[in-house]
Amino acid sequence: MAIHVLLVDDHIVVLEGLKKLLEMDKELQVVDMVSDPSTLADVIAQLQPDIILMDIQMKGYNGLLLTKELLKSNKELVIIMLSGYNDDAYLQGAYNAGARSFVAKDQPPQELIATIKSVYEGSSVFPSFVEGQVDFLLTSKEQEVLQWLATGKSNIEISEALEISKRTVEHHITSLMRKLHVDNRMQIVMKAMEDGLLK
């Protein structure tokens, strides 16, 4: 089954180019292209895409603020920020807004496709040049999941406590393992204790 991708950019030429690029891979399907962000919430509700690939700066719209608003109303959304500027400030902004990844438009096509697939599988992917900065920056939701993991709760119990899906809990646990460089949930807790991440 193909990964359904929704493209959001205020430049039609960019949208068309991205669509052709992504659909060269049979595992990806572009379900729609949005050039007017004011319609985005309705399109998402209707199509329920697996991945939203959104430009960080659009005419009259800030992609970072839009990402925060969308995630506030629907925690299950998976958003990748796209930018023409490979800038640390934008990357940090994308991370803080809750995006799963930040991709510069000048990155090779295969890197973009690989990022989409990794994010779909539950990873939080950021460029290697900032790995050192991102490693110990846990999102507020990851911190909450971490606290519950430390009490020995199961994924289902954590999902009920935080009112998010079991799949989203699994995504957060995968992200925690990547950031803490460990292989399982027990090691997450042990490493978090060593690093003073548990309250």
**Domain check: are 72 and 164 in the same one?**
no
The CATH number that applies at residue 65 is 3.40.50.2300
Asked whether residue 61 is assigned to any structural domain, the reply reads yes
Q: What's the mean pLDDT in 138-166?
A: 91
Residues 5-23 pLDDT 10s: 999 999 999 999 999 999 9
The residue type found at 111 is E
Residue 86 burial (10 A CB sphere; 0-12, 13-18, 19+): middle
Out of 46-50, 62-66, 142-146, the most confident range is 46-50
Give pLDDT, residue 196: 65
**Domain check: are 91 and 15 in the same one?**
yes
SS (H, E, C) 78-132: CEEEEECCCCHHHHHHHHHHCCCEEEECCCCHHHHHHHHHHHHCCCCECCHHHHH
**Domain check: are 24 and 115 in the same one?**
yes
**Domain check: are 121 and 146 in the same one?**
no
Say what the pTM is: 0.65
Asked whether residue 84 is assigned to any structural domain, the reply reads yes
**Domain check: are 158 and 77 in the same one?**
no
**Domain check: are 100 and 121 in the same one?**
yes
Rounded Cα distance between 65 and 101, Å, is 15
Q: Which residue has the tokens 């669509």?
A: 19
